[in-house]
Amino acid sequence: MSKFVIAVVCLSLLALAGCGNTVRGMKRDGVQTSNALDDATHRIARANAN
């Protein structure tokens, strides 16, 4: 294998790993946003009940 092919393979792996981290981070942000919205909704419902 030439050095160029090895460099391209390494860069491709780094790019794919970066995409995986981004998707994982977006999922985590979505879950946290959903939990925060649920908590806020429950607090408003409890405040209206009193």
- Position 6 confidence tier, pLDDT thresholds 50, 70, 90: very high
State the Cα–Cα distance between residues 25 and 48, nearest whole angstrom. Answer: 35
Provide the whole-model pTM.
0.60
State the Cα–Cα distance between residues 1 and 8, nearest whole angstrom. Answer: 11
State the Cα–Cα distance between residues 26 and 30, nearest whole angstrom. Answer: 6
What pLDDT is stored for residue 21 in this prediction?
80
Coil, helix or strand for 1? coil
9-41 pLDDT per residue, tens: 999 988 888 887 888 889 999 999 999 999 999
Give, as one character, the DSSP assignment of residue 46. Answer: H
Q: What type of residue sits at position 48?
A: N
